[in-house]
Amino acid sequence: MSPHRPRTVVCHDYFAIRGGGERLAITLAHALDATLVFGFRNAETYDLDLFPLDRVDLRLPSLLQTQQIRVGALALRFASARRVIRNYDLRIFAGTAAPLAAPRKGDGFNVYYCHTPPRFLYDQKHHFSVSGRASILRGIALETYRKAYLNAVDRMDVVIANSRTVQARIREYLGRDSEVVYPPCDTSRFVWRGQGDYYLSTARLGALKRVDRIVDAFREMPDRTLVVASGGEQIDALRKRAEGYANIHILGWVSEERLNDLMGNAIATIYVPVNEDFGMSPVESMSAGKPVIGVAEGGLRETIVPGETGILLDPDPSAVDIAAAVRTLTPERAMAMRSACEQRAQLFSETVFIDRMREVTGHGP
């Protein structure tokens, strides 16, 4: 790498929802005084003032932003941006399409921050399968993308995993060693505000998040209140499932301030996804002093301390299992865990994240 302060670029797939991966890219770009390159943004969710002044929007047309074709379209977009990216000394890539912008090794330093190898190619591909002629076309497209993705990973000088769970996947599916750097939590945003009378779920409403089981648990507990502050493809089905149950409130997506308030005043949070890569929601919960009812799968085993900052259910928990945990995690017991939760969350602060990224990338203060 050149001896002067390196020109740095952070490449991230796109900005649509307010998620942990998106927050990581923005945090990193600001901290490293980097150019931020991305495929597109949702203007309703992301104002330009959230981004660094030095930014490049590849402006993927809205027609190509649909879930079925987005990855392939973005992959082509980022691959065509390679000639621009090679002008930077330090290049950091995050996502499933952005790594395809990585130039060849030797004339700069390529870093891949891997949230997970694409799960639609590997451990969860059965969840994304289709049938008929579409399956043949999809198979050809996925194989083309898989080869391009693996070639891009080969061009990386350093691979970073967002958890030990993902580190194991990288070794199994990509054949690469990696460093673990946990993603950052904005611990100044999620703070204790009090204790209300409800349990909170913030997971996106998709099949792999298992929020339906949480709703079913509270259908059997009319004396306990559940607030679901998120949206997703299952929202209509879950609202119908909760009809007639006055103790279940499905709000959809809420503003950041409303989410901060809901988190800060909950009794505890519930988060039981399938083999999550890392899981920022439990860390945000602990930052607010709220223990978590989680599941002993994936990255949650690295964040939640059973008996101290929450409860870890056995893998694939049922609604009955979740209900039993809620009854165990009473308001009094949750209150007693507040201090341990807040201390645990500090291990995943933005300061810790930036220091580790500087260390791993060689990008000094």
Is there a domain that residue 88 lies in?
yes
pLDDT of residue 237: 98
50-87 per-position pLDDT tens digit: 898 899 999 898 877 776 678 889 999 999 999 999 99
pLDDT of residue 112: 98
165 and 55 in a common domain: yes
Is there a domain that residue 150 lies in?
yes
**Token pair for 209:** 């998040």
Total count of domains within the chain: 2
The CATH number of whichever domain residue 168 belongs to comes to 3.40.50.2000
- For residue 58, what are the CA distances in angstroms to 36, 41, 118, 265? 11, 9, 21, 40
Residue (of 152, 191, 166) closest to 11 by Cα position: 152
Is there a domain that residue 37 lies in?
yes
Question: How many angstroms separate the CA atoms of 231 and 75, rounded?
Answer: 27
Q: Alpha-carbon Rg of the chain, whole angstroms?
A: 21
Range 156-179 average pLDDT: 96
186-216 per-position pLDDT tens digit: 999 999 999 999 999 999 999 999 999 999 9
Is there a domain that residue 26 lies in?
yes
pLDDT of residue 141: 76
41 and 92 in a common domain: yes
Q: Kindly report the length of the chain.
A: 365
124 and 241 in a common domain: no
Q: What does the longest C-alpha to C-alpha distance in the chain come to?
A: 66
**Domain housing 324:** 198-347
52 and 13 in a common domain: yes
Query: At 18, which amino acid appears?
Result: R
Q: Is 188 exposed, middle or buried (0-12, 13-18, 19+ CB in 10 A)?
A: exposed
Q: Pick the residue with more confidence: 285 or 125?
A: 285
Q: Does 18 score more than 90 pLDDT?
A: no
Q: Does 5 score more than 90 pLDDT?
A: no
Question: How many angstroms separate the CA atoms of 333 and 311, rounded?
Answer: 11
214 and 176 in a common domain: no
337-356 per-position pLDDT tens digit: 999 999 999 999 999 999 99
Q: Does 137 score more than 70 pLDDT?
A: no
- Strand, coil or helix: what is 171? helix
Q: Which residues contact 258 (CB under 8 A, 6 or more apart)?
A: 229
Range 239-256 average pLDDT: 96
Is there a domain that residue 193 lies in?
no
Q: pTM of the entire structure?
A: 0.86
163 and 36 in a common domain: yes
Is there a domain that residue 317 lies in?
yes
pLDDT of residue 107: 78
Is there a domain that residue 191 lies in?
no
Question: Mean pLDDT in the chain?
Answer: 91
Q: Pick the residue with more confidence: 21 or 139?
A: 21
